Structure 1
Amino acid sequence: MASPKESVSVITKLGFRPLNTHTLLYYYIPFQGALSYTALSVNVMNPSLVLRVFPRKDITNILLMNTLLGSGLYLYDKSHLKVLSQKERVLYSAFGAVTFSLGSVLIWAILRSVIPQNVPLCTLCGLGTSVALIKIGTNYIGHIESITKKT
């Protein structure tokens, strides 16, 4: 049987972080939020596909809430906000999460209205834009973090 140190090493090599309160709140919940964000993009771009998977329940609000929670916690933990009061950190991270999420929904709704109503195309467009927007957003926050560390 593997020792606890060997188990942690394997988990770390796979890209997972050891489970504790900090990683749960600021790594795993944001990761789950990113997954929900991606599913939300498919839901907005191709609602008929999601209705086939969940025929009795509209999951849009669930996906949106998970997205907001994940992106809000991601922002809350960033070092450039840690110098602020807790109230300001909550306010700014909530603002960023809402702006990012609802701005994305607006982008997807506009895209959906201009691209052909083709199930695979809409799904790929949703997935592609969600991954691109997550990458742009995390790069932007990384840039802000790098600037604040220099000052």
Structure 2
Amino acid sequence: MASAADARVSLCGKLGLKPLNTNNILFYYAPIQGVLSYTALSVNVMNPSLVLRLFPKKDITNVLLAHTLVGASLYLYNRPHMSKLTKQQKILYGAFGAVTFSLGSILIWAILRSVVPQNVALCTACGVGTGVALLKIGKDYTEYLDSLVVKK
């Protein structure tokens, strides 16, 4: 007979979730939070009036950017192609990659926003669509780099 803990693990596995431990929090859940914040950031940049309606008293741009940077940095820090680097190098390269990716995305969205007609639905769709495309390209690129690592 299965225990309650086994049932929770099985349910988590079926949902695609990992058990809560330090490693999973840092290198699984924080990057997921980063992706969610990145997506919200895309909407915030492309359609700031929509976000202002949801959060009228506070500009959440810096919070979204911080979560995006932390998630992306931790994602890169833990990739196999970074495994032979020192801890300091992994932190530096992870942070550099996260900042470059995030601020480059914001620049793309700002340019896109200036050429897309001022339509709430269109701006939101363009922001989310380009964000998803950039995330996919970034994920594919890091997986390609990881594939170059010689496994022992």
TM category, shorter: over 0.9
**Residue of structure 2 in register with 1:23 after alignment:** 24
Cα deviation for residue 104 of structure 1 reads: 0.2
Q: TM-score, normalised by structure 1?
A: 0.96
Q: 2:114 & 2:3 partners in 1: Cα distance? A: 54
Greater Cα shift, 3-12 or 96-105 = 3-12
* Matched ranges for 1:26-105 at <5 A: 26-105=27-106
Q: 1:114 & 1:86 partners in 2: Cα distance? A: 42
Q: Which runs of 4+ in 1 moved over 2 A?
A: none
**Residue of structure 2 in register with 1:5 after alignment:** 6
Q: TM-score, normalised by structure 2?
A: 0.96
Task: Write out per-residue CA displacement over residues 62-101 of structure 1, whole angstroms, 9 at most, x where no aligned residue.
Answer: 0000000000000000111120111111110000000000
> Does the CA contact (< 8 Å) of 2:46 and 2:110 recur in 1?
yes
Q: 1:31 & 1:105 partners in 2: Cα distance? A: 19
Q: Number of aligned pairs?
A: 151
- SS of the residue corresponding to residue 58 of structure 2 reads coil
- SS of the residue corresponding to residue 108 of structure 1 reads helix
Q: 1:53 & 1:117 partners in 2: Cα distance? A: 19
Give 1:37's aligned amino acid: Y
- SS of the residue corresponding to residue 148 of structure 2 reads helix
- Sequence identity, in percent? 62
Q: 1:133 & 1:43 partners in 2: Cα distance? A: 16
Give 1:76's aligned amino acid: Y
Give 1:106's aligned amino acid: L
Q: 2:123 & 2:151 partners in 1: Cα distance? A: 42
Give 1:58's aligned amino acid: D
Q: 1:108 & 1:24 partners in 2: Cα distance? A: 29
Q: Gaps spanning 5+ residues in structure 2: where?
A: none
Q: Gaps spanning 5+ residues in structure 1: where?
A: none
- SS of the residue corresponding to residue 149 of structure 1 reads coil
**Residue of structure 1 in register with 2:130 after alignment:** 129
Q: 1:51 & 1:3 partners in 2: Cα distance? A: 44
Tell me whether 1:120 sits opposite 2:95 in the alignment.
Answer: no
Compute the RMSD of aligned alpha carbons.
1.4
